[in-house]
Structure 1
Amino acid sequence: METVTETLTLGAIETSLGRLLVGATENGVAHLSFKDTPGTRARAVKRAGLPVVDDPGRTAEALAGLADYFAGKSLTFEVPIDWRLTSDVQRKVLTTLYEQVPYGKVVTYGELDRLSGLNVGAQAIGQVMGSNPIPVIVPCHRVVAANGLGGYSGGSGVEVKRWLLTLEGSVPATLDWDPDQGPTAP
């Protein structure tokens, strides 16, 4: 009897936000980092707990989807997701977000709590967004506070969230906004 071992493949893409790192298993995308460095690669591998293999075909669909997203050519990601790095609560909330909050729309933390049917409160939903292992593809940037943008733990913080929401048309562009250039530090 042959033993089947699950593995992780890593791929990267240059975007307006910098070089993004994507990790995929045989089941789908499991990881996305806003940086592609030896350190972020090592953390992705450690977190997944899987051996790394070279299988570019496994990340190709996600990388192509990211390229299209940043070029404004695609409004949805239709890649399989491997939820292994999430708890049951995270999986329920993030699956609801992935499936029910489309490009160009935003939802408050409280509204996402109600949509997911968990009744855990807005603060708990914010914690789930902050621990999302697959940002951009699973669009935690589309979840905002009832009184403003709220926080964002991806990339360089809330300015990345604002930039992504501007790209999607949810936030009006400022005169200096450039889709080919990511957010600049204040």
Structure 2
Amino acid sequence: MKRSIDATDLQTFLRDDSEPETKVMLVEREAKPGGVSLVNPNAIAKKSYTDAMELSEGVSNVNTAMHANARNKLDVIGRQMRNLQELMSSVFEETKLSIELHNVACNFVKKPGHIYHLYEKPSGQKYFGMLSPEEWLNAPHNYLGSYMLESDLSWTPARSIDGRYEGVNFLKQFFGAPHLQALS
């Protein structure tokens, strides 16, 4: 039966000073194993001091190796959990931003693949415009940023557009494959 570990078990296991148990377990002596009498039952019971030391050292080495192996695996799991937590946080932030931007006032139909520019009026109302600050001779309101509406209806800040397909860009450079150009 599997026993779940709790925080105390994990903390004890991960302590640097924790020493695994190295007690040597010897097989119980039987005078008649399987009902068969031994020729010299005393001979099999004799153990030298060095035998016990070697057995103890072997158990200690195995325990140390298993402990180190488990710590290495737990380190990988801990790093993955930290990365997943960071990814989860960025997903929440991106979702929050997309919801906020979808609720911004707009007098036109927004289409995926286009960049829209966010402005704020003195009244505090935010709205999307099609003209960038550079296209205005004198922008009438406070410019807050530009965003591209993605095909999945999420928003990408315009300053991040070049880095949004980092993996595909790497593959194009790595393989120099022209057939990957279609993925851009």
TM superposition score category, shorter chain reference: under 0.3
Taking structure 2 as the reference length, the TM-score comes to 0.22
Taking structure 1 as the reference length, the TM-score comes to 0.22
Task: Looking at secondary structure, tell me which structure has more helix per residue.
Answer: 2
